[in-house]
Structure 1
Amino acid sequence: MSIETDATRTDAGEDLDALARELGERIAEMPLYERYQEAKEEVEADEELQEEIREFEQIREEFMLARQTGEATRDDLRTLQDAQEELHEKPKMSEYLEVQNELELRLQELNEIISDPLTVDFGGKAGGCCED
């Protein structure tokens, strides 16, 4: 039986920190992550698309408010769904959402690999990594 000292725990903690940094760096170097960053930058740089996103967000906010007050109708929901569908059909937005989904799936796979020997869901309990 070995007794852990504070120095041993600190060394192990530093090793884990270094490992976590390396994992983050490796993820950032993945071609999939690079594709995600490029697609995100294209969406952010497209002023016309940004205006359409703002318009969609306005429609969504109005729907959510109407829903909270009990005034939302099926037509309001249909308007929201149509606006979302139209936005998602834009080539840059479609590419961004597709790559984002692929990246989220890959990060979930990595989370499962990390969580496998643990008794907790690493990504879920240690601070979800996919929120943007």
Structure 2
Amino acid sequence: VEASLEMLAALDRLNAQLQAEAETRGKTPIALRIGIGVNTGQCVVGNIGSEQRFDYSALGDAVNLASRLEGASKDLGVPLVIGRATAELVSDRIPLTPLREITVKGRGESTMVYAPAAVSVPVSTAAS
């Protein structure tokens, strides 16, 4: 989560630099955006494949959920979405805002998702 927050801060700095450069040239700046999904759980990590072709991968339900959280970041209007398992591990160090329960493709049950309090959350997204 801390690395994700650092990524967002670096992106803010880059966007400020790009905006300044665009304004200097009389151009319209285009802001870069990213979506990040963070989840915690068991997975299989390593080189997977045959002798002819190795692919370093991470596989498992926790990885799939992280990918789905990243995809949900756009719909939720926040750049960083955190799964429940990760939230439980970091909430004593990083203030979190509960967003809402979401159901992701490939999972039957819904899961509560969170964003760091440092990230701007649209009123329509925050849990009441």
State the TM-score bracket (shorter-chain normalisation).
under 0.3
Larger proportion of strand? 2
Larger proportion of helix? 1
**Whose RCO is larger (CA < 8 A, sep 6+)?**
1
Q: Based on CA coordinates, which of the two structures has the bigger radius of gyration?
A: 1
TM-score (norm 1): 0.26
